Amino acid sequence: MSTSKQVPENSPLDTVIAILTVQDQDSENNGKVHCFTEERMPFNIKLTSTGFYSLTTGSSLDRELQSYYNFTVICSDEGVPSLSSSVTLHLQISDVNDNAPVFEKNTYNAYVNENNAPGLSLFSVKASDADWNLNARVTYILEDSVMNAFVSSYVSVNSDTGVVHAIRSFDYEQIKNFQFQIKAQDGGSPPLSSNVTVRIFIQDQNDNAPQILYPIQTGTSAVAEMVPRSAEIGYLVTKVVAVDVDSGQNSWLSYKLLKATDRALFEVGLQTGEIRTVRPVSDKDAVKQKLTVVVEDNGHPARSATVNVNVVVADSFPEVLSEFMKCYRWRREQMFYKSGGNLPVIPYYPPLYADMGGTGTLQRVYNYEVCGTTDSRKSDMKYVRPCSESIISLDASGTQTLLHQQKGEMTENLENQVRKQHIQDWRHLALLLVSFSLLFIFRLLYIQ
């Protein structure tokens, strides 16, 4: 004979599981019955005052340790020989939501390269629940807390699989790492849950070129460094200072001389960026020297930046100013020479020499544009085809009349051009004066 029963795992001690009715038709000792189990079980068999036997829990049950019990209850009398009978009991321990999900790891660390594609799968978390059925079904939730306030804009977690995805592209220079918590919650009622801490580390990529800090570059010119003509080998002219916001080997910088007015005069320290003379300066060296230095990082592929360094070879500032004034005068003369036909020249025609019905000396009226410069050897003349209107007209009496409005407009345009050029030249002079004044400050800040 056998029977089946279901018992909740959270049943308290002495919970009655079954009632056994035992009868023996004999009398006296032959009719006295005792019931017991052969195996050691977490159950007790007690004789009640009404003559029944009750099967009760003798200790706590745990479905996760043992989900069912099969055992035999034997009842025997006190006769000689003793007679007995038995019954087999099948006890199923029913589940109660008494276990929270447990993560496979105490913490999770994930590494991702910056500039990743949005939606990239970063890693996954895994939690298991020792309970059964709905009580063991785990859902993953991005924990809402102060620490996670901004995390929802960076990552998301699949509620069923625990896969963590990147919502946006990460930038190592803006955020190097962050952490948050993921909650694993079961489907019990009430649900149980547990949290795990996740740390995301952004890996740097070589996505930034070096930035030049010194010499400071402006939209028009750069600070000029002065080198005395008495400078010997190894004279420190200046130092190129640059930084790279990347990290590791991506931020290691090297300096190279790309171009120079005289490559035999200067060199650049590969690691230091110091510009030094490689030979003594001579009187034959040009006053103005221009060097182009390239700064390159150690990334793969490498990124670089270039900077122009203006060097003035002179013993004193007046010498530099003298050279500048020479250049200024030369530029002013070139401006007049290159202006060409833009100079307003009013041609002169003798009275009564215009074409008056074919009776004048000149059969047609011609225009001549004459360009004059400060150097008479650089004059130019342009012949223009006949024009229907001349800037000079004659009336019947032979009196010449100028179109003063046209003459005034052309003269005013020239004056404006000359005035603008003078202002620009003096601005360059003022900038040069300020640059030399600040030169020594920058040398103290970046070189010493």
272 with 241, same domain: the answer is yes
353 with 301, same domain: the answer is no
Q: 431, 220 in Cβ contact below 8 A?
A: yes
The arithmetic mean of pLDDT across residues 149-154, rounded, is 83
Q: 71, 39 in Cβ contact below 8 A?
A: yes
342 with 386, same domain: the answer is yes
Q: 86, 102 in Cβ contact below 8 A?
A: no
Q: 212 vs 209, 244, 292, 294, 319, CA distance in Å? A: 10, 9, 13, 10, 30
Interhelix angle 317-338/404-446, rounded to 10 degrees, is 150
What is the percent of the chain where pLDDT is above 70? 67
144 with 154, same domain: the answer is yes
β-strand pairing of 163-166 with 127-128 = unpaired
* 3-state secondary structure (DSSP) of residue 186: strand
More confident residue, 419 or 164: 164
- Total structural domains within the chain: 4
Among 152, 172, 203, the domain-final residue is 203
180 with 220, same domain: the answer is no
Q: 212, 295 in Cβ contact below 8 A?
A: yes
CATH of the domain at 167: 2.60.40.60
* 3-state secondary structure (DSSP) of residue 132: coil
pLDDT, position 437:
59
Q: 293, 268 in Cβ contact below 8 A?
A: yes
pLDDT, position 96:
94
Is pLDDT of 84 > 60? yes
Structure-block tokens of residue 59: 């200790």
Is pLDDT of 223 > 90? no
320 with 310, same domain: the answer is no
pLDDT, position 339:
54
The arithmetic mean of pLDDT across residues 359-386, rounded, is 44
CB atoms within 10 A of CB 312: 20
Structure-block tokens of residue 194: 């547990």
323 with 283, same domain: the answer is no
Which of 157-166, 229-238, 300-309, 394-403 has the least mean pLDDT? 394-403
405 with 279, same domain: the answer is no
- CB within 8 A of 255, min separation 6: which ones? 240, 242, 268, 269, 270, 271, 272, 273, 293, 294, 295
Structural domain of residue 394, as residue ranges? 316-448
306 with 221, same domain: the answer is yes
Residue written as token pair 């700064």:
295
Confidence of residue 21 (pLDDT cuts 50, 70, 90): confident
240 with 180, same domain: the answer is no
298 with 230, same domain: the answer is yes
Please give the single-letter amino acid code of residue 394: L
Among 94, 127, 157, the domain-final residue is 94
Confidence of residue 162 (pLDDT cuts 50, 70, 90): very high
Tell me the DSSP string of 280-327.
Answer: ---TTS-SEEEEEEEEEESSSS--EEEEEEEEEE-SSHHHHHHHHHHH
447 with 333, same domain: the answer is yes
pLDDT, position 298:
95
Among 314, 338, 369, the domain-final residue is 314
Which of 247-256, 257-266, 405-414 has the least mean pLDDT? 405-414
- CB within 8 A of 405, min separation 6: which ones? none
pLDDT, position 340:
53
Is pLDDT of 324 > 70? no
pLDDT, position 431:
63
Q: In angstroms, rounded to a whole number, what is the distance separating the alpha carbons of residues 175 and 163?
A: 22
